[in-house]
A and B are shown apart, each in its own frame.
Chain A
Amino acid sequence: GQNIDQPTEMTATEGAIVQINCTYQTSGFNGLFWYQQHAGEAPTFLSYNVLDGLEEKGRFSSFLSRSKGYSYLLLKELQMKDSASYLCASMDSNYQLIWGAGTKLIIKP
């Protein structure tokens, strides 16, 4: 079957680093997406990985290992505004997205 797993909730401290993991089982894998969703707002696109490795975009980086069915989102120099839910989604051979339930990230001062 097709499945996405990510932690339900994580807590981190302002200024620190946090890594949000996502594991997937997807037939005909076509890439892995990360979205950010603040409470009451639209999910917004953060990253897309289809090849193995790390992609960096400012304070946010996303990593993919296709052989392990594993991705993570790394957030550095955490700010209070990073408190949000982070949604992981894999794309299958039909270009359909399989979504995780999201990780709620709580940032404490």
Chain B
Amino acid sequence: ETGVTQTPRHLVMGMTNKKSLKCEQHLGHNAMYWYKQSAKKPLELMFVYSLEERVENNSVPSRFSPECPNSSHLFLHLHTLQPEDSALYLCASSQDGSSGANVLTFGAGSRLTVL
């Protein structure tokens, strides 16, 4: 256990479904992140929240909608996804979002398959 817990670990959904990914951190960190990891590709940063304010949104399609109700929880709401959205979605947290030596602690990821 890293201190960052993601649920569900695996999710299969149709293109018309609506689902959510959940992330919870027990480290007292102030920043939380969503990353997309596809095979043999670099990690893609999707969203960053610092002190519950969204500070980064890297041109992510609107079918992905983040929510950060408090500094310990982060959600990624999914709707009308495409097959190319199938990937491992990683949540991470860090002490803060804007300093050097900003070490990320990752969750084990949610493996998403879109049919």
Question: Inside 8 A of A33's CB, which chain B residues have their CB?
Answer: 103
Question: Inside 8 A of B97's CB, which chain A residues have their CB?
Answer: 95
The answer, among A8, A45, A94, A101, for a CB contact under 8 Å with B104, is: A45
How many angstroms from the CA of A74 to the CA of B99 in the assembled complex? 26
Question: Inside 8 A of B100's CB, which chain A residues have their CB?
Answer: 30-31, 50, 91, 95
Question: Inside 8 A of A13's CB, which chain B residues have their CB?
Answer: none
Query: From B108, which residue of chain A is reached at the shortest CB distance?
Result: A42
Q: A31-B101, A42-B106, A44-B2 are in contact. Are A96 and B41 (CB under 8 A)?
A: no
Question: What total of A-B pairs shows CB separation below 8 Å?
Answer: 54
Task: Flag if A42 contacts B42 (CB, 8 Å).
Answer: no
Question: Inside 8 A of B42's CB, which chain A residues have their CB?
Answer: 4, 98-102
Q: A4-B42, A97-B45, A99-B43 are in contact. Are A50 and B101 (CB under 8 A)?
A: yes
The answer, among B2, B4, B90, B102, for a CB contact under 8 Å with A95, is: B102
Task: Flag if B102 contacts A43 (CB, 8 Å).
Answer: no
Task: Flag if B45 contacts A42 (CB, 8 Å).
Answer: no
State whether the Cβ of A109 lies closer than 8 Å to any Cβ in chain B.
no
**A38 CB to nearest B CB, Å:** 10
Task: Flag if B2 contacts A42 (CB, 8 Å).
Answer: yes
Question: Inside 8 A of A43's CB, which chain B residues have their CB?
Answer: 90, 104, 106
**Between-chain CB contacts (< 8 Å), 27 pairs:** A8-B40, A31-B100, A31-B101, A35-B104, A42-B4, A42-B90, A42-B109, A43-B90, A43-B104, A43-B106, A44-B106, A45-B103, A45-B105, A48-B101, A50-B101, A87-B43, A95-B98, A95-B100, A95-B102, A96-B56, A97-B43, A97-B104, A99-B42, A99-B43, A100-B42, A101-B42, A102-B40
